[in-house]
Amino acid sequence: MLKNYFKTAWRSLVRGKSFSFINIAGLAAGMAGAILILLWLQHEISFDKFHSKKDDLYEVYGLTSNTDGHPFAIPVVSQPLAPALKQNYPEVAAATRVKDLGHFLFTADNKSFTNVAASIVDPSFLQMFDFPLVKGNTAAQLTNIYSITITEKFAKKLFGTTDAMGKTIRIDSVDNFTVTGILKDLPSNTRFEFDCLLPWDYLKKLGEGYSNDSWMSNNTPTYVLLKPNTNVAAFNEKIKDLTRRNTGRTQIWTHFLFPLKQWHLYSEFENGKPVTGRIESVRIFAIIAAFILLIACINFMNLSTARSEKRAKEVGIRKVAGAGKNLLIGQFITEAFLTALLAGVIGLLIVQLTLPYFNTLINTELVVPYNSLYFWLAASGFVVFTSLLAGSYPAFYLSSFKPVSIFKKQFKSTQAVLTPRRVLVVLQFTFAVVLIISTIVIRNQVVFAQSRDTGFSRNDLIHVNFAGDIEKNYPLIKQELMNAGVAASVTKTMTGITQGGTHTWGLRWKGEMPKDTNTTITIFSSDADFVKTAGLKLIAGRDIDINKYPGDSLSVILNETAVKLMGFKDPIGAIIERPYANLNMTVVGVVKDYITGSPYEEIPPVVIEGPNAWFNTMHIKLNAANSTTDNLAKAEKIFKTYNAAYPFEYHFVDEEYAIKFNDEQKTKTLAGLFSALAIIISCLGLFGLSAYVAESRVKEIGVRKVLGASAFNITQLLSLDFVKLVFIALLIASPLAWYAMNKWLENYTYRVSISWTIFLIAGAVAIIIALLTVSFQAIKAAIANPVKSLRTE
């Protein structure tokens, strides 16, 4: 019986070649699109889930207040907190801090590299997280101040095919480290990114700017492993006031634990609770995958039922010959399964061919796990599910025909206003229009944020991170850059301007309110000419200049938001106190707000300090009178003179700012790509459906032409029905898309409004595409010779 099902199904596919091609092509494209999305979704959902202790791993967060007094969660805490948790709380099995070590020179076997992702961690790190060693003993790692654990990839980069175990790596031409372990390369689905691990004790040797024993300085990601069955809610209450107890300050931040399972997908907090994040993208693309597959299945349903007249006699004869309804349903489901199976094979081939490009687009490394039994079980289930989804309605529809009605040709009801086929076309284009509108809204949001005034000048601005002897020779480098005409101005700062700076709390000022002193404030630093170099807009006062005003080591500049927070009517000359550092700083200038973090969020209060803070980079405003190439070539010679052991590495500020849009750009591109795929699949089905409609009305068209109807009249007649359906789809899709995208935009403080023109554009695009698709068959039918269609009458 089963063999007969497949034989008959194959004959049916071969007999209707054009129908089969459209069905298989549509399903293959839909399945390929859905598979690509599902691979990405699985990758997103699996982040850091491979750790065996994932259920007991947590990140320690701080909870403070933002400018409007609402709780504000931060993923960094003070460095003394981790050992305090381990020593004083029996619920903690292990704790580790993770600090990135940037801009250092790594040398081995006469090879030197500076772009090395190095992390300084506590020895317990590798016991908490499952990053397996290829060589070495986990318990022996990071126990010596001069030991280093490296990845396989970094080992090959430094030592080639030579065994790296026991080899020496020199860091910054100062310290020699011995390789004690080699890690398997990190998977792509982890938040951690490092080429090597260094022991925490080494951080203390590096001194200020790295090691900080103050409870008031939050700058270090910290993780804890709780003992099994620990009551997390009760433990959170125990550690909540830990920093307050160690500082004697009762109004500063509190702490809570954030579980590993939510790290990747729930990175956005509201009132101190994780509410959203990448989970929004996961949900959006899960819906898109469902839409694409459903659109492809609707094609199959429509084309199968459209051929009902041709299949009707077959059904009638089978029923007269004794075939029951269940037998016919089995036959048609088998046809659907065979179609879905062929489409699945072709879809998988499409996925394999397009996956490298898709990986480049989303900047990750997805692979099809062919060697996994679960993959093949899931793939089989996916094909069966698709065949049932696509084939169930046609199977029940076709098998329900009565032999008497079939042979009397009374089984059709083409005059009905509302038919399942029309409903499915409306549903199909509703999904497509929702995707078109969503793509336009996402694109507008990205453009809106990109056009936002940054508050600083990105043109011809670069920054160079301090490495080697740059900081020591900074005055000489600055002078030579100016003398050579390379730079219009130079300043040294804490971080790059697009990187924000650091965060602090507890600043005091005259007329302060208790809630205001606990607000998160961004701290930046400069020695001189920062306003000039970055192109900030000075509203009042002057720039910091330690060369001209030696007392500027205790001077600060505020942005507009900081002035508003502190309530200064005349901020120039006001005193700001930092109690935990015993510093009284004087306000010498006010600048217009500039973007320090996300371009989609509100600008925080910023305090730009003079050189009492640490510095880690220098900004150079290149001389616009020269070409960028000439400026950089001259700058490289100067840096080589004073920092010969290091390559000249610089970063364009405009390129770093553009990186802030990567996630939304990726969402925009993917939404656009899959919207286009949905439209193509919809049009493919519409093309086939219009062909069958034209074929079924060929005698009517012939009569109309004989009676004087023009080709335009015939084309209009055949096209109008489909355009009406697309218009109805637009009316249904518009409020759905508005609601969905309005919810998405709520994730952004700085967001675009959804204009009515978006719906107009989406509607016009859908109707034009539908018209172009249908008109081909309509025109073909309209210009056909009526004699051929009527000669049998």
Q: Which residues of 226-263 are buried (b: 16+ CB within 10 A; e: fewer)?
A: beeebeeeebeeebeebbbeeeebeebbbbbbbbbeeb
- Does residue 308 have a pLDDT over 70? no
Q: How far apart are CA 572 and CA 579, in angstroms?
A: 21
Least confident range from 70-74, 92-96, 187-191: namely 70-74
pLDDT tens-digit profile of 82-115? 999 999 999 999 999 999 887 788 999 888 888 8
The answer to whether 464 and 650 are in contact (CB under 8 A) is yes
The tokens for 555 are 């001077």
Instruction: Give φ, ψ of 349 to 5 degrees.
Output: -65, -40
Per-residue pLDDT, 417: 56
Per-residue pLDDT, 205: 84
Q: How far apart are CA 383 and CA 386, in angstroms?
A: 5
Q: How buried is 8 (Cβ within 10 angstroms: 0-12 exposed, 13-18 middle, 19+ buried)?
A: middle
Across the range 366-375, mean pLDDT stands at 87
- Does residue 493 have a pLDDT over 70? yes
- Of 336-340, 717-721, 763-767, which has the strongest mean pLDDT? 763-767
The answer to whether 544 and 608 are in contact (CB under 8 A) is yes
Least confident range from 144-148, 484-488, 639-643, 725-729: namely 725-729
DSSP-derived pairing of the beta strands 71-74 and 57-65:
antiparallel
Q: How far apart are CA 200 and CA 454, in angstroms?
A: 37
More confident: 271 or 449? 449
Share of residues in the chain with pLDDT > 90 (%): 38
Q: Which of 14, 12, 26, 21 is CA-nearest to residue 685?
A: 26
Per-residue pLDDT, 93: 96
- Does residue 404 have a pLDDT over 60? no
The answer to whether 171 and 121 are in contact (CB under 8 A) is no
Least confident range from 231-240, 374-383, 648-657: namely 374-383
Q: Which of 510, 428, 518, 403 is CA-nearest to residue 769?
A: 428
The tokens for 463 are 């920054």
The tokens for 704 are 């109309």
Instruction: Give φ, ψ of 128 to 5 degrees.
Output: -90, -40
pLDDT-derived band at 441, boundaries 50, 70, 90: very high
Radius of gyration for the alpha carbons in the chain, expressed in angstroms and rounded: 34
- Does residue 235 have a pLDDT over 60? yes
Least confident range from 132-136, 644-648, 713-717, 727-731: namely 713-717
pLDDT tens-digit profile of 659-691? 888 888 888 888 888 888 888 888 877 777 776
Across the range 213-232, mean pLDDT stands at 90
Angle of helix 698-706 versus helix 756-782 axis, rounded to 10: 80
Q: How far apart are CA 329 and CA 335, in angstroms?
A: 10
Q: Which of 219, 146, 132 is CA-nearest to residue 184?
A: 132
pLDDT-derived band at 731, boundaries 50, 70, 90: very high
Per-residue pLDDT, 20: 76
The tokens for 526 are 């400069």
Per-residue pLDDT, 784: 65
The tokens for 397 are 């529809």
pLDDT-derived band at 400, boundaries 50, 70, 90: low
- Does residue 322 have a pLDDT over 70? no
Per-residue pLDDT, 256: 92
Q: How far apart are CA 628 and CA 607, in angstroms?
A: 32
User: Which residues sit opposite 618 in a β-bridge?
Assistant: 464, 492
User: Which residues sit opposite 465 in a β-bridge?
Assistant: 617
Q: Which of 717, 727, 716, 739 is CA-nearest to residue 765?
A: 727
Q: How far apart are CA 409 and CA 402, in angstroms?
A: 10
- Does residue 778 have a pLDDT over 80? no
**Owner of token pair 């700076």:** 501
Mean pLDDT, the chain, whole residue set: 84
Q: How many helices (H) and strands (E) does the chain have?
A: 25, 27
Per-residue pLDDT, 678: 85
Across the range 482-508, mean pLDDT stands at 87
pLDDT tens-digit profile of 250-277? 777 889 999 999 999 988 877 777 878 8
Per-residue pLDDT, 667: 82
pLDDT tens-digit profile of 543-593? 999 888 888 889 999 999 999 989 898 999 999 988 767 788 999 999 999
Share of residues in the chain with pLDDT > 70 (%): 85
pLDDT-derived band at 284, boundaries 50, 70, 90: confident
734-742 long-range contacts (CB < 8 A, ≥24 apart) are 734/433, 734/437, 734/759, 734/762, 734/763, 736/430, 736/434, 737/433, 737/434, 737/437, 737/438, 737/441, 737/762, 738/437, 740/434, 740/438, 741/437, 741/438, 741/441, 741/442
- Does residue 447 have a pLDDT over 60? yes
Per-residue pLDDT, 319: 59
> For 738, what's the count of Cα atoms within 13 Å in the CB-facing half-sphere?
14
- Does residue 67 have a pLDDT over 60? no
User: Which residues sit opposite 503 in a β-bridge?
Assistant: 522
- Does residue 220 have a pLDDT over 60? yes
- Does residue 738 have a pLDDT over 80? yes
Q: Which of 622, 559, 549, 620 is CA-nearest to residue 589?
A: 559
pLDDT tens-digit profile of 133-166? 999 999 899 999 999 999 999 999 999 989 999 9
User: Which residues sit opposite 651 in a β-bridge?
Assistant: 463
Per-residue pLDDT, 269: 78
Contacts of 697 (CB under 8 A, 6+ apart): 718, 781
Across the range 192-204, mean pLDDT stands at 93
Per-residue pLDDT, 405: 57
Least confident range from 393-397, 658-662, 768-772: namely 393-397
